[in-house]
Chains A and B, each alone.
Chain A
Amino acid sequence: MNAHGIVHKFGDNIDTDVIIPARYLNTADHKELASHCMEDIDKEFVNKVKEGDIMVGEANFGCGSSREHAPIAIKASGISCVIASTFARIFYRNAINIGLAILECPEAAKDIDEGNEVEVDFDTGIITNVTKGRKYQAEPFPDFIKEIINKGGLLNSLKK
C-alpha cells in the first residue's frame, strides 16, 4: 500500500474543533462532514484538496475531543495519509479504527512544506519528499495495528 500526493501543511496542536467544528456534528454524513473539514483554520482547504493528497501536522495532531468525525472528515475529504511528529492518542486510535493511514515522523513533519509532492510506502515506513529529493523513516506500525489496517478497520478485523 502506498500514498502519493500533494501536501497540505499545518502546525502544532491541530485540535479536533478546527478539524471539524462541533456546530457540524449534528450529522454523521461523511460527505457533509468533509465539506467543513479544517474550515476554522483554513477556509480554502476544502477547495484545494484533491483525492490522494497528504496532510502533514506537527506536535499533538488531533488533540481535544474524541469525535471520530475528525478522521472521518479528513478521510472523506480525499486525504490518503496524515503525517505528524506526534498524534493525540484518541485521534490516533480513531484513525486506525476507521482505516485512515497515519504515520508519526518528527523529521518528515518538520522538513515537509506546504505544496511538496510526497510518496509514502506503508510497508517500509519510508516517506519520500519528491520535491526536495529527501527520504525520512517513519515508525512502522506494530503487527497488531497493521492487521487492523490491512483488514480495513477495527470492525472488519473483528470478523473471523
Chain B
Amino acid sequence: MGMTMSQKILAKHAGLDSVKEGQLIKAKLDMVLGNDITSPVAINEFNKAGFNSVFDKEKISLVMDHFTPNKDIKAATQCKQCRDFAGKYDILNYYDVGDMGIEHALLPEKGLIAPGELCIGADSHTCTYGALGAFSTGVGSTDMCAGMATGEAWFKVPGAIKFNLTGKLNKYVSGKDVILHIIGMIGVDGALYKSMEFTGEGLKSLSIDDRLTIANMAIEAGAKNGIFEVDQITLDYVKDRVNRPFEYFKADEDAVYSQVIDIDLGTVKQTVAFPHLPENTRTIDEIKEDIAIDQVVIGSCTNGRISDMRIAAEILKGKHIAKNVRCIVIPGTQKIYLECIKEGLAEIFVEAGCVFSTPTCGPCLGGHMGILAAGERAVSTTNRNFVGRMGHVDSEIYLASPAVAAASAIAGKIAGIN
C-alpha cells in the first residue's frame, strides 16, 4: 500500500520502510520550537523531570513573539525564564526583541526548516512549515520538553485528504481566500487528525507566501499538518536559506486518501470568515449588508509576510483609512519590517493613518497591541475568530486577506476590491 507525503516523512524519521494510518511511532526530530508562552511550561517540566542537557542545541528554536515587547511584568518574567534557559543550554536559535519575528514567519525565513524535515512546535500554527514540504505539527509544552531532552516525539500516523489544485488565482485573491474557502467547505473539524496534502498543476501559481498562509491554517480545519508537494518554487525559496542536505518526498501513486477534493483556483473568490468560527465563510459578493468596523489588523503568522505588506500598501497608497477605524499593521519579522521601510511601504501605512508596529503576535490572541472593547468589530488577517480571541467576549472578528482588510480599512466597513 502506498504512502502519502506525510507518511513517508514520518517513516523515514522513525527508521521504518513504511508506516500506515493509525500506527503509533517514535520519530527523530529535526527541529523543536517554543515561544514565550509555551516554553515556560516546558522549561518548568524540563527542570522538574531532572533533565540536564538538550538533545541538540542547533535543533531547538525559542522565539519571544507572543507578549513581546513584554506587555507586563508577568510576560517579562516568562521571557526572562526562556532567555536564562537558552543561555544555560547554549541554544543557538534563541530570538528576542530586536532580532525576532513571529515564529512561523521567522523559521522559514532563517532557513531553519527544510523540505522533508520533521518539526514539532509548542504552537498550533507550527503546521505552517508544510508549505516547504516538511512534516510540521503543533504540540503542547510537555511534548516540547520531551523533544528538547530526547530529540524524539510519539506520533499516531495520520491519514490524509488530498487537495488537487488546478487553475490560477485571480487578482486580489490570495492563499488566505483559498484556505478560508476550504475551511468553509470542510468545516473546523473537516480534517480532524488528518494531513491536508496539496498537489496539482495549480501549485505553479501559488507563491511560497500563499502556501505558508494555506498551511498555517490547516489547524483551523482540525488537521494534524498541511503539506505542499515540493516543486521548483520551493527549491528556489530554500536555495539561499538552507545549507544542509535534505531529502523530500512525493506521495505514492497508490497512496490512500479519505477524500480527494479538486479546487479550481480560478473560481476562488475573496472570502471572509464571520464570527465566531473560521468555517463561517461568505464570499465578498455574498455580503449584501453594511458591516461597520472599528479596527483592522494586518499581520500575524498567517499574513505578515512581505507580499502581504505589499498588497496592503498598494491598496492604501495615497488614501486614508476611514474615520473611527484603527488600522494596525504588523510585519512578521525584523527583515520584513526593514523591507517595508526600504520599499516605502511603512511611509504609505503611516500616511494612510495606520499604526506600523514591531513584529508581535499581540492582538491576534488578545494579548496586547490592539484589544477590542465590548461591541467592537475587527477585520483581521489573523487565523482565529473565536469568542473573546481579540479582547472582550462581546467583540467580533472577521477573518480576511490583507487585500480585503486594507480595502475594509478605507471603507470603514467590510469591503472587497476589484
Q: Which residues of A contact B (CB under 8 A)?
A: 13, 15, 17-18, 21-23, 25-28, 40-41, 59-60, 63-69, 71-72, 86, 88-90, 93-94, 97-98, 142, 144-145, 153-155, 158-159
Q: A154 is contacted by which of B44, B142, B193, B388 (Cβ under 8 Å)?
A: B142
Complex Cα–Cα for A64 and B49 (A): 28
Contact of A68 with B365 at beta-carbon distance under 8 Å, contacts A28-B44, A97-B142 already known: no
Distance A86 CA – B222 CA, assembled complex (angstroms) = 11
| Docked-complex contact A89 and B72, CB < 8 angstroms | no
Minimum CB–CB distance from B371 to chain A (whole Å) comes to: 8
Chain B residues with Cβ below 8 Å from A66 are 38, 121-124, 126, 138-140
Looking at the complex, which one of A28, A68, A88, A90 makes contact with B78 (CB distance below 8 Å)? Answer: A28
Does A153 contact B140, Cβ atoms closer than 8 Å? no
Check A155–B74 contact: CB distance below 8 A: no
| Cβ B192 vs Cβ A68 within 8 A | no
Chain B residue with Cβ nearest A18: B387
With A13-B188, A154-B142 in contact, do A28 and B40 touch (Cβ < 8 Å)? yes
Q: Is B189 positioned at the interface, with any CB of A under 8 Å from its CB?
A: yes
Interface-forming stretch among B110-118, B143-151, B290-298, B315-323? B143-151
B75 close to A (CB within 8 Å): yes
Q: Name the residue of chain A whose CB is nearest to the CB of B67.
A: A26
A22's nearest neighbour on chain B, judged by CB, is B365
**Of residues A41, A71, A154, which shows the largest number of chain B Cβ atoms within 10 Å of its Cβ?**
A154
Which chain A residue has the least Cβ–Cβ distance from B50? A159
Q: Counting CB contacts under 8 A, is B176 at the interface?
A: no
Which residue of chain B has its CB nearest to the CB of A98? B142
The 5 residue pairs across chains A and B that have the minimum distance between CB atoms? A94-B140, A26-B74, A68-B140, A97-B142, A22-B365
| Residue ID in chain B nearest A15 by CB atoms | B386
CA distance A154 to B388 in the complex (A): 31
Asked if B404 lies at the interface with its beta carbon under 8 angstroms from chain A, I say: no
CA of A65 to CA of B139, assembled, Å? 9
Chain B CB within 10 Å, residue with most, of A18, A67, A89? A89
**What is the interface of chain B, defined by CB distance below 8 A to chain A?**
24, 37-38, 40-41, 44-45, 48-49, 66-67, 71-72, 74-75, 78, 121-124, 126, 138-143, 145-146, 149-150, 154, 188-189, 192-193, 219, 222, 224, 277, 365-367, 384, 386-389, 393
Chain B positions within 8 Å of A98 at CB level: 140, 142
Residues of B within 8 A of A25 (CB): 37, 66-67, 365, 367
Min CB gap B223→A, angstroms: 8
CA distance A160 to B87 in the complex (A): 29
Given contacts A98-B140, A145-B24, A155-B145, 10 further A-B contacts (CB under 8 A): A13-B277, A15-B387, A17-B366, A25-B367, A60-B189, A88-B222, A98-B142, A144-B154, A154-B146, A155-B142
A23 engages B366 (CB within 8 Å): yes
- Checking A40, A65, A155 against B365 with a beta-carbon cut-off of 8 angstroms, the contacting residue is A65
Is the Cβ of A142 less than 8 Å from the Cβ of B365?
Answer: no
Contacts of B141 in A (CB 8 A): 68, 94
CB contacts (< 8 Å) of A155 on chain B: these are 45, 48-49, 142, 145-146
Q: Is the CB of B154 within 8 A of A67?
A: no
In the complex, the chain B residue whose C-beta lies closest to that of A90 is B138
Q: Are A59 and B189 in contact (CB under 8 A)?
A: yes
A98 to B42, CA, bound (A): 11
Q: Is the CB of A26 within 8 A of B78?
A: yes
Q: Complex formed: what's the CA distance from A154 to B384 in Å?
A: 29
Rounded to whole Å, the gap between the CB of A83 and the closest CB of chain B is: 17
The complex places the Cα of A72 from the Cα of B146 at a distance, in Å, of 17
**In the complex the two chains form, is A67's CB within 8 Å of B38's CB?**
yes
Residue of B nearest to A60 (CB): B189
Complex CA distance for A54 and B165, rounded to whole angstroms = 44
Cβ contacts under 8 Å, B41 to chain A? 28, 68-69, 72
Selected A-B contacts with CB under 8 Å, 23 pairs? A13-B189, A13-B277, A22-B365, A23-B366, A26-B67, A26-B71, A27-B74, A59-B189, A66-B121, A66-B140, A71-B140, A88-B192, A88-B222, A89-B192, A89-B224, A93-B143, A94-B141, A94-B142, A97-B142, A154-B142, A154-B143, A154-B146, A155-B49
Closest to B41 in A: A28
Q: Taking A90-B138, A155-B49 as contacts, is the C-beta distance between A60 and B222 under 8 angstroms?
A: yes
Residues of A within 8 A of B40 (CB): 28
Q: How far is the CA of A25 from the CA of B384 in the complex (A)?
A: 17
Query: How far in angstroms is the closest Cβ of chain B from A88?
Result: 6
Contact A63 B222 (CB under 8 A): yes
In the bound assembly, the distance between CA atoms of A93 and B219 in angstroms comes to: 15
Given contacts A17-B388, A66-B122, contact A22 B138 (CB under 8 A): no
